[in-house]
Amino acid sequence: MLRFALLASTLLLLSLPARAGIDVRVKGLGSDERDNAYAKLSILEFAKRTDADKGSYDQADVERLFRQGPREIQEALRPYGWYNVTVTPTLSGAAPDWVAEYRVDAGPLTAISVIDIEITGEGADDPTLVRYKSRTWPLKLGDRIKHEDYEALKTRIVQSAYGLGLLDAKLTRRELRIDVPNNVAEVLLTLDTGRRYFFGDVTIEQDGAVLLRDAFLRHYLTFEPGEPYDPSKVLSTQFAFSDLDYFQTVDIQGKKEETTPESARIPMLISTTERAPRSYRFGLGFGTDTGPRASVGADFRRLNTLGHKLRTDVRVSQRISTVIAEYRVPVGSLPSDSVSATSQALTQNFSDVKETLYRIGASYNRRGKRWQRRVYLEYTFDEYTIKDSPQRQSKLLVPGVSFDHTEGDDPIFPRAGFYAFLDVHGGTTAALSDTNFVQATVKLRGLLELQRRLQLRVRADQGATYVGSFDNLPPSQRFFAGGDGSVRGYSFQSLAPRDDNGRVIGGRYLTTASAELDWYFLREYGLAAFVDAGSAADTPLIDLSVGAGLGIRYRAPFGAFALDLAHPFDGDQSPVRLHLGVQVGL
């Protein structure tokens, strides 16, 4: 707390105008204008410098700089559209302490009376540029002239021309005329677009042991030879090549100097350097739901010239262990689009359920404008027991589709954003499944920054199953609640229907929700307060179990380490349950 208090005091002192023998006060202005006035005042800078050097003040210097103040304030206000400013200065006190006060009357605003935009050159008739003659945002007739808005309009016009392949475009007339006595401003701009340029032939250079096929990489170009040159398409192509995960660096150059008077096509050169064709992952940890855990994985980034990939993961823990292998084949024109073949073996032991599952599947993965879509077909063989009952087996052929979308300003520590997920899948006895069922799951996550360092996290999960014979539905397709990512305060997957012997067997429906406040009182350290509710049931009307508690957060490079103490308000659970985990992203 002492560190926090010292930091807060330092920031407060830095935010105030300096009092170093001279107390400078500017009154009568809004915050932006006042800040700019303080920044322009020579007497304030003189006071800061003298104090820093521990020097003495000369009466003549103070009076001279004080007299400059009105003119400096008038200059400081002109960019904000105030050209008839009256400043009443007052200097009081005596060495070594003075009070220099400036009372400001900004006067009438200077309004925009004329906006005249002319366009010449090859792009003079282009609709995108012609639109600027009538749509002059952020400037508007009758509004107060602000220099930053005037500069923004100039920048937007030139950048728009560049985006149309008019790379020689420049403003040959850029005039801001101010009629000070009449408080009006005229904006006069002329854009000479010059010639229009086009994308030329594309050359792709690679290094490395396995060179990807040139035709394969060209699928990810976002421009075609002959199209008007657009710098944004060059940038999107660079992002696409980087997102493929094959290259360490991607550099794209337009050889404008190689164009000729007869041809306005710009040859394009894409130079890449290879990422390591293989990478490995190792991890050790502990989670309340899983117990001690270890993981190892490997990524094979380029198995052949067509960019095929292989990802393997082995995760071992006290309660859940799994081995997964995914073979991915890129398709389409986006780095995220692919066809995958997956195999998995999984064992888990929770509550009264012990389960071993084997799964093979294939999926088509495609990203639209907003949603990532996955269409899949999986075949699973399941062996399971429910506490002292005979072992059972289940076979399911499951087609399904899922959609997910994420928005956030940082993949690890977002300040705001949301995540949405929808999955629908099912099986039928007419096609290699032991029961008829359809299941839908919705997951929602949200993060809102209430104020600096204070965030609200919310989440909600909803699931529903239609099933012909529930006894033939394996635990992997049933709903359970409780644990770190569900309802804290209750043991892992303990909130679900029970059979006549009191054994947890899972349910047809799921509802969980949570709200959490995270306050990072220091950059790395934070406190949390939360309330969770939820359960699984055999009917849509679910009797929710509630838990609440407090937690500690520590931001590590890989995510926020979370330690929570949660209290359950229902059931025969322990009065306080410790939960350990890591928060990454949403």
pLDDT digits (tens, 9 = 90+) for 288-305: 777 788 999 999 999 999
Q: Which of 162, 192, 222 is the last residue of a domain?
A: 192
The number of residues making up the chain comes to 586
CA nearest to 481, candidates 452, 510, 504, 501: 510
Q: For residue 535, what are the CA distances in angstroms to 319, 458, 493, 523, 577?
A: 21, 17, 9, 35, 17
Torsion, Cα 473 474 476 477, to 10 degrees, reads: 0
Report the chain's mean pLDDT, rounded to a whole number. Answer: 90
Model pLDDT, residue 484: 87
Predicted confidence band of residue 134 (pLDDT cuts 50, 70, 90) = confident
Model pLDDT, residue 585: 82
Predicted confidence band of residue 11 (pLDDT cuts 50, 70, 90) = very low
Q: Is residue 12 part of a domain?
A: no
The pLDDT tens digits of the residues spanning 525-539 come to 999 999 999 999 999
Model pLDDT, residue 280: 94
Q: Which residues make Cβ contacts (< 8 Å) with residue 204, sequence separation at least 6?
A: 214, 217, 218, 270, 272
Torsion, Cα 43 48 49 50, to 10 degrees, reads: 80
Instruction: Look up residue 511 and give its two tokens.
Output: 């509802």
pLDDT at position 570 over 70: yes
Q: Are residues 573 and 472 in the same domain?
A: yes
Q: Which of 128, 162, 192 is the last residue of a domain?
A: 192
Residue 141: CATH number of its domain: 3.10.20.310
Instruction: Look up residue 269 and give its two tokens.
Output: 């050169």
Predicted confidence band of residue 572 (pLDDT cuts 50, 70, 90) = confident
pLDDT at position 207 over 90: no
pLDDT at position 18 over 50: no
Q: Is residue 438 part of a domain?
A: yes
Q: Are residues 268 and 294 in the same domain?
A: no
CB 421 within 8 A of CB 386: no
Model pLDDT, residue 582: 84
Predicted confidence band of residue 2 (pLDDT cuts 50, 70, 90) = very low
Q: Is residue 535 part of a domain?
A: yes
Q: Is residue 5 part of a domain?
A: no
pLDDT at position 19 over 60: no
321 DSSP 8-state letter: E
CB 348 within 8 A of CB 320: yes
Q: 72-86, 89-103, 176-190: lowest mean pLDDT where?
A: 89-103
Q: Is residue 13 part of a domain?
A: no
Q: Are residues 484 and 408 in the same domain?
A: yes
Q: Which of 223, 253, 274 is the last residue of a domain?
A: 274
Q: Are residues 302 and 419 in the same domain?
A: yes
Model pLDDT, residue 90: 94
Q: Are residues 221 and 162 in the same domain?
A: no
Q: For residue 362, what are the CA distances in angstroms to 127, 309, 333, 423?
A: 47, 14, 20, 16
User: pTM of the entire structure?
Assistant: 0.76
Predicted confidence band of residue 10 (pLDDT cuts 50, 70, 90) = very low
Instruction: Look up residue 583 and give its two tokens.
Output: 């928060």
pLDDT at position 12 over 50: no
Model pLDDT, residue 525: 94
Q: Are residues 206 and 96 in the same domain?
A: no
Q: Are residues 155 and 238 in the same domain?
A: no
Model pLDDT, residue 197: 94
pLDDT at position 249 over 90: yes
Predicted confidence band of residue 20 (pLDDT cuts 50, 70, 90) = very low
CA nearest to 66, candidates 39, 102, 37, 96: 102
Q: 3-state DSSP helix/strand/coil percent for the chain, to nearest 5?
A: 20, 50, 35
Domain membership of residue 467 as a residue range? 278-583
Residue 487: CATH number of its domain: 2.40.160.50
Q: Is residue 347 part of a domain?
A: yes
Q: Are residues 473 and 336 in the same domain?
A: yes
Q: Is residue 3 part of a domain?
A: no
> Mind giving me the DSSP string for 458-511?
EEEEEEEEEES-GGGS-GGGSB-B-STTS-TTS-TT-BS-B-TTS-B--BSEEE
Model pLDDT, residue 401: 97
Mean pLDDT of 407-432: 91
Beta bridge partners of 454: 451, 519
Model pLDDT, residue 121: 92
Mean pLDDT of 451-466: 94
pLDDT at position 15 over 50: no
Q: Are residues 23 and 47 in the same domain?
A: yes
Q: Are residues 528 and 407 in the same domain?
A: yes
Q: Is residue 365 part of a domain?
A: yes
Model pLDDT, residue 319: 87
Task: Name the domain count of the chain.
Answer: 4
pLDDT at position 5 over 70: no
Predicted confidence band of residue 261 (pLDDT cuts 50, 70, 90) = confident
Q: Are residues 222 and 265 in the same domain?
A: yes
Helix (H) or strand (E) holding 438: strand 437-451
Mean pLDDT of 575-583: 87
Q: 131-140, 176-185, 196-205, 508-517: lowest mean pLDDT where?
A: 131-140
413 DSSP 8-state letter: S
Of 207 and 154, the structure prediction assigns the larger pLDDT to 154
Model pLDDT, residue 17: 45
Of 134 and 565, the structure prediction assigns the larger pLDDT to 565
The pLDDT tens digits of the residues spanning 294-334 come to 999 999 999 999 999 999 999 999 889 999 999 999 998 89
Percent of the chain with pLDDT over 70: 96
Q: Are residues 358 and 443 in the same domain?
A: yes
Model pLDDT, residue 71: 95
